[in-house]
């Protein structure tokens, strides 16, 4: 079932950053990767899909309803958002940080209950970082921080996850482990996942579908294998690549 | 290890103002022996225990002079430290205190106007300083508001601008005021609890109580707000509404207290910071209650010193600064500010 959809979405902040005529949808249990050069509009699209910036009416739909009809807290129960960079000002513990994912389920004057704490613990277990529970969030590694943010989004009990470059600033090993967790969540929790990535081969390995963005438009959208091709990558990134076959997948290596 | 709620040291710290409250009843220029003070207190609360044998003057001093002053000191310590803790969370900045939104400048201007132009009208200084203190905050808020949003950076800048304008107006009034009234203005600005009686308690206690209850109930929500605007929004928080409530409640309690006691600095900065270091957690579920408790203790101590170290009364604002500033420096040097990244 389709969870989030953009339909002929055009948006602009001022003159530079803009999206035009974007149409895209993500269904239950589906992992969609957004590729595209810097400034192509990936982050803006993700922000529109969560109404962190307000899209025009009837262009973004969550479970077939216009996103603008959702109050902020109702939307947060449908969509979990994992931001790109995170600069926490206070050294909360990992557990307290994940617990904050419960905000949309609590009124302004409510404290988290035993049930909310259980949900936070379960979220930590789902991403495999329960052992970090009592560590201070500001003192763990970049890969672990990313997993904490994913756990926090899971604590919202959403039906979709939006992730803005979940592998940014991570080493190779951590990129792979974070993406494994994301794919597993799509498969096992049946979440609709939309994430932006920089590395086409990781998109091939970890997503079902890929959309390539360029200049605020969708240049290609479809099955990962049919979109991440030599032609599409060369045309949209403006570099030359070679295709390397391995186990039925054509990986792309830049020509240097 | 961070402190747990319901641990013995947590509860003990919450109850700490009680002994300081009792000690403060004995402190002052007029000597009252502790046993006499206790008996006056007990007999006032439980009159059926018998008739007081102590001189009538004891009862007057304790109930009409010291008690209202102690209550105001407690309320003020709570107001300054809880608003400081809340605003530091909201602004995600350790160097923010209750006065960042222009409250002190507004309140100062209000008091100066009243002292300079309405000296014969009783209560005018309190009313005008409260009104202008809160008005300064509203000005800051609406200057910062742009297209339905009030980013933290805009609030800080607007606070600086509003503070500057109100301070300039205050300077003009000082300049044109005659020397005797100018002394009154200057003394007010230093901050003091010397003129507090039951009337002042009744004026400000309800406001401080209501604002405190609001912030106390929002203590977990303030954790979420401290993640920053965008993340809080993504987590489902109605950021503009929640932020306005925290700002308004903080300003309300501080303006109320400042209107009777003048500008007393450093408590809103030192107390929450100390509490975070002591508890080893930034979690406002514990930071806000403990800040309230230690804020009350700090203010009681400072006021006890103000009325006992010299043969005349010192402005309590000077004492909080003299204790607070070096203590803050010590904390920063010793712990390297670890509680902040």
Is it the case that residue B79 has pLDDT exceeding 70?
Answer: yes
A219-231: average pLDDT: 96
Question: Domains of chain A: which residue ranges?
Answer: 2-254
pLDDT at A166: 95
Task: State the total domains in chain B.
Answer: 1
Biggest alpha carbon distance in chain B?
A: 68
Question: Ranked by mean pLDDT, which of B24-28, B108-112, B122-126 comes out on top?
Answer: B108-112
Residue pair B250/B218 in contact (Cβ under 8 Å)? The answer is no
Strand order in the sheet with A217-223: A79-82, A160-163, A192-196, A31-35, A209-214, A217-223
User: Which residues, in sequence order, are CB contacts of B73 under 8 Å at separation 6+?
Assistant: B24, B193, B296, B299, B300, B302, B303
Structure ipTM? 0.93
Residue pair B292/B81 in contact (Cβ under 8 Å)? The answer is yes
Is it the case that residue B339 has pLDDT exceeding 60?
Answer: no
CA–CA distance, A241 with B146 (Å, rounded to integer): 47
User: What is the least distance, in Å, from the CA of B193 to any CA of chain A?
Assistant: 33
Residue at B44 is within a domain:
no
User: What is the least distance, in Å, from the CA of A217 to any CA of chain B?
Assistant: 25
Residue at B275 is within a domain:
yes
Distances (CA, A) of B107 to A138, B85, B101, B176, B263: 39, 21, 12, 19, 8
- The two tokens of residue A204 are 């091939």
Instruction: Find tokens 């025009």 and name the residue.
Output: A56
Q: Which CATH architecture has domain A2-254?
A: 3-Layer(aba) Sandwich (3.40)
CB contact under 8 A, A103 and B221: yes
pLDDT tens-digit map of B268-300: 999 999 999 889 899 999 999 999 999 999 999
Contacts B218 to A, Cβ<8 Å: 108-109
pLDDT at B258: 92
Supply the mean pLDDT for chain A. Answer: 94
pLDDT tens-digit map of A116-152: 999 999 999 999 999 999 999 988 999 999 999 999 9
CB contact under 8 A, A91 and B341: yes
Supply the mean pLDDT for chain B. Answer: 89
pLDDT tens-digit map of A23-33: 999 999 999 99
pLDDT tens-digit map of B83-107: 999 999 998 887 788 788 999 999 9
pLDDT at A185: 95
pLDDT tens-digit map of A68-83: 999 999 999 999 999 8
Residue pair A154/A182 in contact (Cβ under 8 Å)? The answer is no
State the pLDDT confidence band at B341, using cuts at 50, 70 and 90.
Answer: very low
pLDDT at B337: 52
CA–CA distance, B87 with B140 (Å, rounded to integer): 14
Q: What is the CATH number of the domain that holds B246?
A: 1.10.3470.10
Domain that holds residue B126: 67-335
Q: What is the gyration radius of the CA atoms in chain A, in angstroms?
A: 18
pLDDT tens-digit map of B212-227: 999 999 999 999 999 9
B43-68: average pLDDT: 84
Pairing of strands A18-27, A60-62: unpaired
CA–CA distance, B90 with B88 (Å, rounded to integer): 5
Residue at B226 is within a domain:
yes
Is it the case that residue B234 has pLDDT exceeding 50?
Answer: yes
Which of A44, A78, A90 has the highest number of chain B CBs within 10 A, making it the mutation to test binding with B?
A: A90
pLDDT at A200: 95
CB contact under 8 A, B339 and A91: yes
CB contact under 8 A, B283 and A50: no
In this structure, is the dihedral angle defined by the CA atoms of residues B321, B324, B330 and B331, taken in order, positive or negative? negative
CA–CA distance, A227 with A212 (Å, rounded to integer): 8
Per DSSP, helices labelled H in chain B are 8-15, 17-26, 34-45, 56-60, 67-91, 103-117, 124-144, 152-176, 179-190, 198-217, 219-225, 229-234, 239-261, 267-279, 284-306, 316-335
pLDDT tens-digit map of A145-179: 999 999 999 999 999 999 999 999 899 999 999 99
């Amino acid at each position: 079932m389709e969870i989030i959809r953009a339909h002929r979405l055009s948006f602009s902040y001022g003159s530079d950053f803009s999206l035009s005529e974007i149409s895209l949808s993500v269904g239950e249990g589906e992992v969609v990767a957004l590729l595209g050069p810097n400034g192509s509009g990936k982050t803006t699209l993700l922000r529109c899909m969560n109404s962190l910036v307000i899209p025009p009416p009837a262009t973004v739909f969550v479970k077939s309803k216009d996103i603008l009809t959702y109050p902020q807290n109702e939307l947060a129960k449908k969509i979990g958002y994992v931001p790109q960079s995170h600069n926490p000002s206070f050294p909360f513990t990992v557990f307290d940080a994940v617990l904050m994912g419960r905000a949309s389920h609590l009124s302004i004057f409510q404290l988290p209950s035993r049930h909310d704490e259980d949900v936070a613990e379960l979220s930590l277990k789902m991403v495999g970082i329960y052992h970090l529970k009592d560590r201070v969030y500001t003192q763990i590694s970049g890969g672990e921080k990313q997993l904490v943010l994913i756990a926090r989004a899971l604590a919202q009990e959403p039906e979709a996850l939006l992730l803005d470059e979940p592998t940014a600033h991570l080493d190779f090993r951590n990129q792979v482990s974070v993406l494994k967790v994301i794919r597993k969540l799509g498969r096992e929790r049946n979440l609709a996942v939309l994430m932006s990535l920089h590395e086409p081969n990781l998109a091939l390995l970890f997503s079902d579908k890929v959309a390539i963005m360029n200049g605020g438009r969708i240049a290609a959208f479809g099955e990962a294998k049919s979109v991440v091709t030599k032609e599409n990558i060369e045309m949209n990134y403006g570099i030359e690549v070679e295709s390397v076959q391995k186990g039925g997948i054509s990986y792309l290596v830049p020509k240097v | 290890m961070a402190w747990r709620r319901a641990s013995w040291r947590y509860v003990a710290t919450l109850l700490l103002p009680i002994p300081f409250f009792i000690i403060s009843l004995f402190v002052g220029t007029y000597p009252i022996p502790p046993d006499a003070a206790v008996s006056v207190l007990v007999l006032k609360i439980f009159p059926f225990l018998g008739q007081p044998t102590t001189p009538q003057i004891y009862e007057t001093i304790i109930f009409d002079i010291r008690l209202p002053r102690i209550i105001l000191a407690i309320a003020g310590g709570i107001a300054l430290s809880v608003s400081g803790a809340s605003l530091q969370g909201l602004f995600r900045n350790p160097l923010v205190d209750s006065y960042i939104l222009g409250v002190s400048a507004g309140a100062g201007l209000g008091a100066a106007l009243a002292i300079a132009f309405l000296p014969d009208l009783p209560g005018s200084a309190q009313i005008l300083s409260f009104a202008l203190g809160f008005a300064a905050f509203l000005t800051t808020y609406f200057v910062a508001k742009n297209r339905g949003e009030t980013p933290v950076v805009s609030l800080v800048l607007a606070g600086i601008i509003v503070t500057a304008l109100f301070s300039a107006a205050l300077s003009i009034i000082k300049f044109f005021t005659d020397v005797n009234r100018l002394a009154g203005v200057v003394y007010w600005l230093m901050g003091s609890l010397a003129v507090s009686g039951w009337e002042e308690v009744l004026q400000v206690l309800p406001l401080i109580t209501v604002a405190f209850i609001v912030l106390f109930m929002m203590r977990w929500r303030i954790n979420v707000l401290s993640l920053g605007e965008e993340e809080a929004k993504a987590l489902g928080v109605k950021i503009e509404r929640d932020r306005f409530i925290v700002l308004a409640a903080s300003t309300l309690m501080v303006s109320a207290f400042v209107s009777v006691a003048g500008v007393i600095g450093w408590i809103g900065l030192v107390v929450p910071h100390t509490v975070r270091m002591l508890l080893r957690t930034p979690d406002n579920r514990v930071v806000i209650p403990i800040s309230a408790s230690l804020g009350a203790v700090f203010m009681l101590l400072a006021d006890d010193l103000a009325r006992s170290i010299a043969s005349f009364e010192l402005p309590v604002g000077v004492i909080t600064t003299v204790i607070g500033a070096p203590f803050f420096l010590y904390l920063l040097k010793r712990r390297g500010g670890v509680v902040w990244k």
